[in-house]
Amino acid sequence: MLLQHMINGLSIGSVYALIAIGYNMVYGILELLNFAHGDVYALGCFVVLGLITAGINPIPAVAAGVAAGYLLNMLVERFAYRPVRFSGRVTPTISAVGVAYIMRNLILKVWGPETYPLRLGFRGTRIYLGGIVIGTLQIYIFFAAVFFMLLITIMLKKTKIGQGIVAISQSIPTAALLGVPVNRTISIVYGIGGALGVIGGILFCMYYDTIFVGIGFALGTIKAWMASIIGGVGSLKGAIIGAMILGLMESLVAGYVSTLYKDAVIWLALIMFILIKPQGFFPSQIAEKI
């Protein structure tokens, strides 16, 4: 039973990790919290739903949704964040909350408050190993998340744009003097975060076979932020490990305590964790940003 809960926890934790990576990449560069992150990728997921409902094949529908998340977050950075980038922390936060409400109300206007099933035509099977049941969908979700996490890690370490991101995370003025296109690079980081968020959101919707207007707040604003706090805000490695820990905690609490009190117990554990280790498991990464 314990192993079953751990497998379930790693599956959902890998989804949280994808969303938290985009969240932490933005903070790692600008030290600003992108509170619009969740609602941007929620809109991307609803684009996928709309296209599939219209009869579009799931593969191009998902590609369009990921592209929508990428472009939407770039637009958010250009018009909501860039003009107030150096205006302290309060002004960008207010701007982010405003964008989040715009996105959420746009979803409500087009799709309403209903909960919809999101089916991509994939029918998973179950694998029985003794008393453990593993869904093939869980396996695919886990490996898809791992693939994209490795892809982002390689991009940051091995590519020119990745080195530019690292340079900007250390010092924006110095990076500009070295010839790094600061505005373009920051815009790309926002775009990558939006695309990863849509991928994570789609995997979540596939896992639970449901999509609703609050998916952005529930996953992006709450879960990703909790994972970031556990792992260390601004740390890529911390985002991944924190998300896995959060997924395991959710699964174990739901299995051994109750699904009704799952969120309450996790929030209580998070508060205790903050009191003991407020900088997360990887505090040194905060100083280095990425």
Q: How far is CA 167 from the centre of its chain?
A: 23
Rounded mean pLDDT of the chain? Answer: 85
Q: What is the CATH number of the domain that holds 181?
A: 1.10.3470
pLDDT: which is higher, 197 or 133: 197
User: What range does the domain containing 47 cover?
Assistant: 2-119+127-288
Count: domains in the chain: 1
Query: Which pLDDT score, from 0 to 100, does residue 220 have?
Result: 67
- Contact (Cβ atoms closer than 8 angstroms) between residue 98 and residue 40: no
> Does the pLDDT value for residue 284 go beyond 70?
no
Cβ-in-10-Å burial (0-12, 13-18, 19+) of 163 comes to: middle
Structure confidence by residue, pLDDT tens digits, 124-155: 677 777 778 787 878 887 888 888 888 888 88
Give mean pLDDT, residues 224-237.
83
Please report the pLDDT score of residue 288 as a whole number: 42
β-partners of residue 29 are: none
Structure tokens at 94: 């207010």
